[in-house]
Amino acid sequence: MTLEAAVQGLADGRVSLQKLIGQLPTETSQGFDQVAKQFAETDRRIHEMSQRTDERIDKLAQRSEERARQLDERMDKFAREARERARHFDERVDKLVLGIGEFMRKSNPGE
């Protein structure tokens, strides 16, 4: 019997006060048990969601680390290629300067 039903029964004169008082500890205990079950279920669900969230975060961290590694590799490759292009450019400039010097020497043989 719920508390509301007990109060209604008292109002209608169908339930004695002694019987109501006798049932009160049982009703209270059942109410506490129900609340405890709800808390346990809520705790279980929070734990499950927390585990799923942790798994998602771990996967995201792994993907981020992999992408960062790939980006580092690409940047290193780009830097190597840029150094190689700069070296080739320097060689071409050196050859051009030498060629200009040789041209000038041949153009002015008497000087």
How far apart are the C-alpha atoms of 41 and 33, rounded to whole Å?
A: 12
In this predicted model, what pLDDT tens digit does every residue of 34-61 receive, in sequence order?
888 999 999 999 999 999 999 999 999 9
Half-sphere exposure of 7 (CA within 13 A, CB side): 3
Buried b (16+ CB within 10 A) or exposed e, 32-46: eeeeeeeeeeeeeee
**pTM for the full model?**
0.50
In this predicted model, what pLDDT tens digit does every residue of 82-109 receive, in sequence order?
999 999 999 999 999 999 999 998 888 7
pLDDT of residue 15 exceeding 60? no
Residue ranges of domains in the chain: 3-107
Contacts of residue 23, Cβ cutoff 8 Å, sequence gap at least 6? 1, 6
Q: Is 2 helix (H, G, I), strand (E, B) or coil?
A: coil
